[in-house]
């Protein structure tokens, strides 16, 4: 199981949101590049970076910061937030992003997912963010009609091989992941499932590994020191 340290960028700064709420922001640093350096030097094999302003459809300099991180470190980066068009995808992959995450665009525009997957089958993941079992979009501020598992199956039919599954109710709470929801997803699809939301301890990471998660994203836990990233990576 791969551990992905999360770097969420809002207004150029490194932040965490509580349950995806943009009015509940904690700033953990003014320099996302420096934060990337910290996690890479702790032994991270991947970085998970999200442009939060982009996720809400806002224009910002965050994407340039992501590309700076890509240039500066040899560790692969998966990036999401505001990736809505084929041009966005080609620009990011062309600039060295190892994997792009489609979230809102996957719900609104399945044809884009199909096109992106046919061109870059290994480099596109779909982010499924669930609020009470339903898929949320537009920076988690709206909820669609899809259940998370049904939507995942639809993405699998389009050729998707990797999903990033976030339980919004646990995200940023350090309350432990929603193991039941994660297991249901893993058991119902034949894709790699990267689990996100609520990771608070090394035991949580072990629990996710046990149910078959291909990866786990950790944000707040490594920022607050609840998890020592280097130690978790050793295990």
Separation between Cα atoms, residue 169 and residue 218, nearest integer Å: 15
Separation between Cα atoms, residue 161 and residue 121, nearest integer Å: 8
Which residues are part of the catalytic machinery? 8, 129
Separation between Cα atoms, residue 187 and residue 210, nearest integer Å: 12
Q: Rounded to the nearest 10 degrees, what angle do helices 179-188 and 148-157 cross at?
A: 30
- The torsion region of residue 24 among left (phi > 0), alpha (psi -120 to 50) and beta comes to beta
Q: Find out whether 139 and 56 touch, Cβ atoms under 8 Å.
A: yes
- The torsion region of residue 99 among left (phi > 0), alpha (psi -120 to 50) and beta comes to beta
Q: Find out whether 50 and 13 touch, Cβ atoms under 8 Å.
A: no
Hey, CA dihedral for 168, 174, 175, 178, is it positive or negative?
A: positive
Comparing CA positions, the residue from 224, 214, 233 lying closest to residue 43 is 233
């Amino acid at each position: 199981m791969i551990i992905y340290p999360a770097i969420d960028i809002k207004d150029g700064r490194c932040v965490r949101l509580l349950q995806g709420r943009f009015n509940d922001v904690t700033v953990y640093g003014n320099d996302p590049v420096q934060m990337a350096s910290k996690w890479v030097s702790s032994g991270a094999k991947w970085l998970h970076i999200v442009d939060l302003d982009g996720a809400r459809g806002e224009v910002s300099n965050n994407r340039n910061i992501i590309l700076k991180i890509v240039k500066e470190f040899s560790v692969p980066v998966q990036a999401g937030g505001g990736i809505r068009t084929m041009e966005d995808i080609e620009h990011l992959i062309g600039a060295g992003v190892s994997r792009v995450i489609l979230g809102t665009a996957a719900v609104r525009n399945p044809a884009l997912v199909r096109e992106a997957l046919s061109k870059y089958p290994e480099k596109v993941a779909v982010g499924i963010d669930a609020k009470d079992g339903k898929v949320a979009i537009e920076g988690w501020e709206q909820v669609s009609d899809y259940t998370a598992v049904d939507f995942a199956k639809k993405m699998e039919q389009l050729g998707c091989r990797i999903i990033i599954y976030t339980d919004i109710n646990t995200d940023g709470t350090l309350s432990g992941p929603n193991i039941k929801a994660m297991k249901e997803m893993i058991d119902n699809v034949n894709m790699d499932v990267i689990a996100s939301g609520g990771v608070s301890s090394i035991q949580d990471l072990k629990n996710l590994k046990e149910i078959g998660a291909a990866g786990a994203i950790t944000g707040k836990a490594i920022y607050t020191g609840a998890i020592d990233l280097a130690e978790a990576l050793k295990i």
